[in-house]
Structure formats: structure tokens, C-alpha cells
Amino acid sequence: MTDFLLLFLPEGSNGIVQIDGDKWREQRRFALHTLRDFGVGRPLMEQMITLEVTTLINHMEKSCVLGSKSLNLCPSIAVCVGNIINNMLFGLRFNQDNQIMHRLHRLLDDQSHTVMQPIMGAYIAFPLTTKVPLINKEWKHLMEIKKELLEFLDTQIEGHRMGWREEMVEEGEPEDLTYAYMIEVEKRKRAGEDVGFFDDQQLKMLLLDLFFAGMETTVTTLKWAFLLMAKNPEIQRKVQKELDSLSQPLIEMRHRTQLPYTQATINEIQRHANILPINLLRTVAEDIEIDGYGFRKGDLIIPQISILMNDPELFENPKEFRPERFLDESMNLKRIDEFLPFSIGRRQCLGESLARAELYLIFANLMHSFCFEVEEDVTTETTYIYLIVCSSIYIFYELHFKRRRLPKGPTPWLVAGNMPSFVNMTNVDDLFQSWKKQYGGIFTVWIGPIPLVMVLKGKRWAYD
């Protein structure tokens, strides 16, 4: 994993997503405690979200009154969600017309699209390709995006340094996470303690991880939400009928138990959208044996939780959008253990409670206020395109020797590994499902010279 981090994070291993050990435990604990102090999981969180929701509704109403027949929801939703995380991280809010916020949204969108480009497979398998002219075009573009995002963070951090007051340490009530981080460092210094893994670079990368995770995933899910409602008008009417039955001007968190169909619809949106088709890479911490397969310390694995969302053994007719699958015979919300949109275990999304509240309050209130339609040519189909990567001759040794100790899986090509299987795939989950039936819940996939162990065994394995 270190090689991957050095490739994609030339500043070093920082942040919170792709670090481990004592550093990960310390920084995650700090982030969790600080976000809770700012209201995550508490009534204060609902107040912050409600403020942004009402602002969004007012903006959309004004836009509709101005005579616009169609409205691009994406930028408006991005400002709404972005303001929530920006307020927590930087004490910052933007209005709906602010070009800085729209630029940040475009950068995050562009970054998400760029990392899914086929050539990225070559950059991972063969880092030297990032130095080759013409071939490294997408890589340079990705670095430009990252540079601009980091410049935004540098501006916010510098602004906090200029606003720093020594009394903040004694006051104990920081305005945002950036000040909380600075206060934590200063407290440790004054007490003569080791500052641990707290430093300027870690602060910047922590903010980047939280900013991306707190904005992009929720915005993407909400885009799917309103697209699916527009494509399924009967379901849209059912949700609106349930919301209208409350006779409330604003939908609040306390109404959740009275809105089982709305809750079920949100669950089905998350299941159907499945916005992380390929999970984050992990490495084995120590030599271990699972199901008779031996894994050595440092082996790359992917706990492919997302495939559960489309497993026909768990969700009948998984390609069908049907909220009723999350309701029992009494029309009460039903728990399905394999429904894990926020992952599970110690690496579970630390902003889950915030994201759940955002999805519920934004979706329910916009559905309560508007009807959504979409042009006929807009589709809900997703396409994942992957690269047949080229390899050097040493792939022969990788395939010949490493395969002996890894779980069985689809036979890799000498040059490209299993990458040819991904070409022209419209849905990568279909491919994973076929391999699961053939090889079982644990199997190896080769991305060029790199073996990835896919773990599809279900809930228990996420804890292990």
C-alpha cells in the first residue's frame, strides 16, 4: 500500500482514509470527537441542515418563479451539502450563487470522473507512466485538480492562523474543526506533551479527506435520488402522499418513525445507486488464514461490500427499483443486515450519522415542496470502463509464483491480468456476481501485475 500512497499522495501518507496504525487511531478519534462537539448526532446538527434546506428551497422557488422551465439541481444541491461540511470544517457558508462553491463542486465532480478514466489503471500498475509525455495527460490533470483543492484549503488554514487568539486555548469552544485542531496542538505543547501525529500537512490532508467525503458522496446520492424519483413517478407520488399526511410545513427528524415508505425509498436509492462500486484498497495487517486461504502481511485486499447491494440472493430482482423490499408485511421499515451503504467495522464511515440526516432532511423536504421531472433521454444506467493495461515481462513471475498462495479466481492474461474482462462492462457488479458464483466469496482479481483479493463473504468478514 505504501507504493500506492507515494504515487497518489506525494506529500506522504496523511489524512484519515489511507493511513493506519497509531496515526489512524489518533486522528480518527480526534475527528470523531470534534464532529460530535459540533453537533453530529445531536439536535444542533438538525438545525444546521434545516437552515441549508430552507435556503435551498427558497432558491429553487425563486428560480422557478423566474420562468425557468428546467433547473439544474446539481449545483444547488452541492452548495446546500457543501455549506454543512464547510461550516463544520472552516466556519464558512456560501450563498447559492457563489462561484467559489460552484468551482469546488466542479473540481470534485471532475476528480471523480478523472480517477475512473481507463488510463488510471496504467498509472497504478506502472507508476513510471505518470512521467511519460502524452500518456500522462490525465495524471497531470488530476494533479492540477488536487493542487487547486489544496490551494483552497491553504487559504482557509491561513485565514485561521491570522484569526488565531491565544485565549482560544482556555475558552475551549472552537468555532470549527480547523481551530479545534490548532487548539489541540497548542494544548499539548503547553503541557509539554508530544504532539503525536498532529502537524500542518496532516491538518491539510485531514481537511481534504473530510471535505471530499462530507460533500461528494452525499451530493452524488442526492443526484441519484431525484433522478430516480423523476424516472419513477408512481413511487414519487407515494412518497409525497406520505409526506403530505403529516400536514407539517417542514419535515423534521422526529417525523422519521411516521414515514416508513420515505425511509424505505431512501434506503432503496442508496442500494440502487451503489455509488462506490469498487471499495477502497486495504492491506492485511498480519499473516492470517481465512477459509483455508493464507494471507500474508501487506497483501492487498478489497472488502467488496458494495456487491451485497446487488446480490440476487439477498435482494430479489436487484436491478428493479422497489422501495417495498425494505418494508415488512405491516408496512414498517425492515432491517436488512446486508444493507451496508456506509461500510462496517472500525473503518466504517465516521460521518454516517451526518450523511443519514442530510439525505433524509434534504430528500424529504424537497419531495414535500416540489415534483420532479426529467428529460426522456436521461438514463439511470451506469457504465464502468476499465483499461487493458500493458505490463513488463516480470508479470510472468508475478502470475506464476504469487498465484500459488492466493485464493483461486479468474485466470489472468499474461500481460493484462483480468483487465480484459472489465472492458465494455455496463455494470461491474454483474461481473463480480458471476465470479462469486464460480469461485466463492473470496477470490483473486489481477489488475495488470497487481493481485487484489476480493472479499464478498458478507457482514462477518468486514469485522475480521
User: Which of these, 164, 173, 170, 161, lies nearest to 190 by C-alpha position?
Assistant: 170
Three-state secondary-structure class, residue 333: strand
If DSSP codes are grouped into helix, strand and coil, which group holds residue 365?
helix
Identify the residue whose cell numbers are 489511507.
18
* Closest by CA position to 315, among listed 305, 306, 325: 325
Exposed / middle / buried, residue 403 (Cβ in 10 Å: 0-12, 13-18, 19+): middle
Q: Report the distance separating Cα 395 and Cα 413, nearest Å.
A: 10
Contacts of residue 20, defined as CB under 8 A and 6 or more positions apart, other chains included, come to: 283, 285
What distance in Å separates the CA atoms of residue 346 and residue 285, rounded to the nearest whole number? Answer: 14
Which three cell numbers, joined as nine digits, stand for 42?
A: 445531536
**Could you tell me where the beta strands, DSSP code E, fall in 350-440?**
none
Query: 64 among the known binding-site residues?
Result: no
Annotated binding site: 349
Annotated binding site for heme: 349
